Amino acid sequence: MMKITAVIPAAGSGERFGGKKQLKIMGGRPLLFHTLKPFIDSELINEIVVVAPKNDVQQLSRELKSMISVKPVTVVAGGNTRQKSVFNGLKAASDSSELICVHDAVRPFVTKELIEKAVSGCSEHDGVIVAQPSTDTIKKVMDNQILETLQREIIWRAQTPQVFSKSALQEALKMAEEENIQGTDEASLLERIGYQVGFVEGSSLNIKITTEEDWVFAEAIYNHLQHD
């Protein structure tokens, strides 16, 4: 069985949110714990690397070790961009790890099933992302002018988890660093150098908490799932 490392970038400063949302309490526990739980529960994930703000590494490491004893959890310091943070997380993965599963710390409603669906898709591709079909009409705009309306049928919204061959992700991140390229997600860095990235359909509940409005939706989803 392939060894898989989950890398959870949680080093964001939360500027748009007004604080570190990954540590905000939801249902009596930090948001980060809810995000980590499916990775802890999944038998496919061998170890977890959490990438945290430099000043929080020691405290977070202590807290996570007291909560999680069933599999190795390492906390490392992030960089000044998400991309650098993911690279730092990748460097902390075990040498024997063959797949890297990257997941946003602020997507707490990921499920074990979704993680495993993304992992299984990697047998046919160099990487697999979770994505949702767009339900909105998407416009291409510039200088307050609509340039064109894009075909909704071919537009998918990328989410995480995103699972990659470790060697492919390593190469993509290294080349991006050397060429000073900033991707909006890890998949885009693999795509640009010719790797084949597939996708599996995600869930509309797998939201990313970026703003205070997102937190309102997240609490509603959390309460709904508790009563389900």
Residue that wins the pLDDT comparison between 1 and 131: 131
| Per-residue three-class SS string for 78-131 | CCCCHHHHHHHHHHCCCCCCCEEEECCCCCCCCCHHHHHHHHHHCCCCCEEEEE
pTM: 0.93
Q: Closest by alpha carbon to 173, among 203, 193, 200? A: 193
pLDDT in tens, 114-163: 999 999 999 899 999 999 999 999 999 999 999 999 999 999 999 999 99
- Of all residues in the chain, what percent are helix, strand and coil, respectively (each to 5)? 35, 25, 40
In CATH terms, 4-131+159-226 corresponds, of 3.30.565.10, 3.90.550.10, 3.30.470.20, 3.40.50.150, to 3.90.550.10
Q: What is the DSSP letter of 185?
A: S
Instruction: Count other C-beta atoms under 10 Å from residue 125's C-beta.
Output: 18
**pLDDT tens track for 32-52:** 999 999 999 999 999 999 999
* CA-wise closest residue to 61 among 50, 45, 46: 50
Asked if pLDDT for residue 93 goes beyond 90, the answer is: yes
| pLDDT greater at residue 50 or residue 30 | 50
Cis peptide before 161 (omega within 30 of 0): yes
**Joined tokens for residue 133:** 């079909």
Q: Kindly report the number of other CB atoms within 10 A of residue 127's CB atom.
A: 27
- 22-to-27, 103, 123, 159 alpha-carbon distances in Å: 13, 13, 31, 17
Cross-strand partners of 163: 101, 128
Degrees to nearest 5, angle at CA 128 with 114 and 173: 125
Average pLDDT of 178-196?
96
For the chain, the domains span 4-131+159-226
Mean pLDDT of the chain: 92
pLDDT at 70: 81
DSSP string across 11-42: ----TTTTS-GGGSEETTEEHHHHHHHHHHH-
